[in-house]
Amino acid sequence: MAIQTVATSPIPGQRPGTSGLRKKVSAFQQPHYLENFVQGVFDTLGAAAGQTLVLGGDGRYHNRAAIQVILKMAAAHGFARVLLGQGGILSTPAASCVIRKHGALGGIILSASHNPGGPEGDFGIKYNGANGGPAPEALTEAIYQRTLALAEYRISDAPDIDIDSRGTRTVDAMPVEVIDPVADYAQLMEQLFDFAAIRRLFAGGFTMCFDAMHAVSGPYARAILEGMLGAPAGSVINGQPLEDFGGLHPDPNPVNAEQLIALMAAPGAPGFGAASDGDADRNMIVGRSFEVAPSDSLAVLAANAGVAPGYAGGLAGIARSMPTSRAADRVADALGIPCYETPTGWKYFGTLLDAGKATLCGEESYGTGSNHIREKDGLWAVLFWLNLLAVRGGSVRDIVSAHWQRFGRHYYSRHDYEAIDPDAARRLMQDLRIKLANLPGQNMNHYQVQSADDFEYTDPVDGSHASQQGIRIMMTDGSRIVYRLSGTGTEGATLRVYLERYEADPAQHHIPTQQALAGLIAIADSVASIAMHTGRSNPTVIT
């Protein structure tokens, strides 16, 4: 066995997006495509001697082949060892946990998150650093620049190894420890939440349904919910990870998780429902005929954090992405702690978590998490809710309604226009930017514009700066319209329009969301001329 130096040339377009490099499987199957990117990562990281690398993915199509390639490249670069999830499986949160716990240099996670899988679907690769979090922008940009200058990559010609049974084996003398992908993560969850109380809840007859959508959360959910906590067998549905997610779209929203939504609306529905995405970092929380908006979920958890032993000492601060509703800000105010507003992308929470400024973080895109790792964490949110239900009693609806009574309700919705022409999308945003200065003071549909801008962010910890992070139109009554282009899509461009309206009066808290937001929706369309630019009269997805 020997280390081969293979001649290659730069492949354009390997710039990581919001969360790693995501392309069609067919792109990754091109000769040298994966190898070039991994070489870019290893070159940028520098010395591997003495270092541990964590490796695993969400089990989607191409995961297993990519793992063999990366193992051989890691061996060629002199890593001291690789910790590999059994079967090539590691959820994104579990990978973050393993990196931190075992003092690794970092980890490579193979996932295109919530994007569809299978031979015709998407594949992805991302690098997380020693803190367990996504590589910061400066690092991903350096990796990208490096991919543009490659002339060769290094790889061992060792044979493929068995990745399906636990134990240590070698690739060209480099030890690969095939580990239980669930154990470290489950142990961490047990430290954070009151497992005894949740066990009592289930023992008392409480029922739930967790929809793993045939993605990577299945083994974690079965082991923890059904195994450790005693949820009835069958509480986890679609629990077997499949390479094509069984044809499901593993993005937990009411549209994609229709089986769960229907179950939760049927007679005899379980007391609690939840779903997670491809790599298990997202979560959706559902009560009986009641969907919890992700922005509300963050606010509710923050207001009740004391129920969980891991957070009983109080929160240092809360952080949310800019388009996420300001429900969490009200909780932070009441608690007398800061609430940070960051650009979209979990990576922006990393510095705040590392510096101890924020304890809980959340995004409207079904992401919630804390300082326990450096990724959002789907099952963590589910356990937090179970802990809350176990301690507080009542239903999901009761808990959220009581929260609104106390803090007021932020009606919230996101309208997505998917797969639109990228040039048309850019023109729409450009035209909006030009209009911004004239908007303040204008009256529209009973609203008056207070201010309008293009969100910019300076990181309070490291001073790094991000501009053009979303156009905001703020109304005098606290309502908001935000426009952004998605950084995670792989087909054309996706325009996201985020709508938020604050309602203090409890008598007005139970209006259907789209009805409550109708006035803002009409303004959003007319100000940005969405129909004209996109040729679409309706969004493709409403969450």
Q: Catalytic residue numbers?
A: 113
Assess 325 for contact with ligand G6P (CB under 6 A). no
- DSSP single-letter state for residue 224: I
Assess 469 for contact with Zn ion (CB under 5 A). no
The entry of Zn ion, ligand G6P, none that residue 279 binds, CB within 5 to 8 Å by partner kind: Zn ion
Separation CA 480–CA 323 (nearest Å):
9
Separation CA 517–CA 521 (nearest Å):
6
19 or 371, CB closer to ligand G6P? 19
Assess 281 for contact with Zn ion (CB under 5 A). yes
Least CB distance from residue 538 to Zn ion, whole Å? Answer: 26
Assess 500 for contact with Zn ion (CB under 5 A). no
Strand 360-363 relative to strand 318-321: parallel, antiparallel, unpaired?
parallel
479 or 488, CB closer to ligand G6P? 488
Separation CA 317–CA 290 (nearest Å):
28
Q: Are 245 and 278 in contact (CB under 8 A)?
A: yes
Assess 113 for contact with ligand G6P (CB under 6 A). yes
Assess 490 for contact with ligand G6P (CB under 6 A). no
Which stretch, 269-277, 321-329, 434-442, 481-489, contacts Zn ion (CB under 5 A)? 269-277
70 or 95, CB closer to Zn ion? 95
Residue 127 dihedral angles phi and psi, to the nearest 5°: -110, 130
Tell me the C-alpha to C-alpha distance, in Å, between residue 334 and each of 156, 302, 407, 511, 522: 57, 11, 9, 26, 33
Assess 365 for contact with ligand G6P (CB under 6 A). yes
Assess 469 for contact with ligand G6P (CB under 6 A). no
The entry of ligand G6P, Zn ion, none that residue 363 binds, CB within 5 to 8 Å by partner kind: ligand G6P
Q: What angle do CA 169, 170, 174 make, to 5 degrees?
A: 135
Which DSSP string do the residues of 356-417 spell out, in sequence order?
Answer: TS-SEEEETTTEEEETTSSS--HHHHHHHHHHHHHHH-S-HHHHHHHHHHHH-EEEEEEEEE
Nearest to 120 by CA among 212, 240, 21, 28: 28
The entry of Zn ion, ligand G6P, none that residue 525 binds, CB within 5 to 8 Å by partner kind: none
79 or 245, CB closer to Zn ion? 245
Of residues 1 through 30, those in contact with Zn ion by CB under 5 A are none
Which stretch, 189-197, 263-271, 304-312, 343-351, contacts ligand G6P (CB under 6 A)? 343-351
Least CB distance from residue 148 to ligand G6P, whole Å? Answer: 23
Assess 496 for contact with ligand G6P (CB under 6 A). yes
| The one among 14, 16, 18, 428 contacting ligand G6P by CB under 6 A | 18
| The one among 488, 490, 534, 543 contacting ligand G6P by CB under 6 A | 488
Which stretch, 401-409, 440-448, 484-492, 511-519, contacts ligand G6P (CB under 6 A)? 484-492
Which stretch, 22-30, 108-116, 201-209, 494-502, contacts Zn ion (CB under 5 A)? 108-116
Q: In which element (H, E) is residue 198 found?
A: helix 195-203
Separation CA 205–CA 226 (nearest Å):
13
Least CB distance from residue 251 to ligand G6P, whole Å? Answer: 9
Assess 279 for contact with Zn ion (CB under 5 A). yes
- Amino acid present at 326: R
Least CB distance from residue 364 to ligand G6P, whole Å? Answer: 8
39 or 359, CB closer to ligand G6P? 359
* Helix, coil or strand: residue 6: strand
Q: Are 213 and 366 in contact (CB under 8 A)?
A: no
Assess 113 for contact with Zn ion (CB under 5 A). yes
Nearest to 48 by CA among 58, 38, 60, 56: 38
Buried b vs exposed e over 196-213: b needs ≥16 C-beta within 10 Å?
ebbeebbeeebebbbbbb
Which DSSP string do the residues of 267-311 spell out, in sequence order?
Answer: TT--SEEEEE-TTS-BEEEEETTEEEPHHHHHHHHHHTGGGSGGG
365 or 387, CB closer to ligand G6P? 365
Residues within the interface to Zn ion (CB under 5 A)? 113, 277, 279, 281
Positions touching ligand G6P (CB under 6 A) are 18-19, 113, 321, 344-346, 363, 365, 367, 486-488, 496
